[in-house]
Amino acid sequence: MSRRFARLNGMKNKKQFVHRLTKEQIEQTRHMSAAMRLQWLEEANDFINKTLGVKRRAQFDKRFKVFLSKPRRVST
């Protein structure tokens, strides 16, 4: 993400995280079964949540903002 893009979208002064895969790493995943890829994704997700925390992750991943809102009370 460029600094200009971040500035235009109100994301100034926020740290950026980038992870790039090599061609060899991409090739390795092609030979993994679907179950192995899913396990890898779950482990990566757990690592990110433990490292950043849900609150911090929600700052740059809209899908996690749901976990920050207070649960609504259902009237009966």
Reported as a pLDDT band with limits 50, 70 and 90, residue 6 is low
**Residue 11 belongs to some domain of the structure:** yes
Output 60 or 26, whichever has higher pLDDT: 26
Helix/strand/coil (H/E/C) assignment for every residue in 11-75: CCCCCCCCCCCCHHHHHHHHCCCHHHHHHHHHHHHHHHHHHHCHHHHHHHCHHHHHHHCCCCCCC
Identify whether 64 is part of a domain: yes
Residue 73 lies in a domain: no
Q: Is residue 47 part of a domain?
A: yes
For 7-21, write each residue's pLDDT tens digit: 555 555 556 667 788
DSSP state of 10: T
In a domain, 75, yes or no: no
The overall average pLDDT reported for the chain is 78
Q: How many independent structural domains does the chain possess? A: 1
Q: Per the structure block, which two tokens stand in for 69?
A: 């809102």
Q: Which domain holds residue 21?
A: 3-68
Q: What is the per-residue pLDDT for 39?
A: 94
55 found inside a domain: yes
- Domain membership of residue 10 (yes or no) is yes
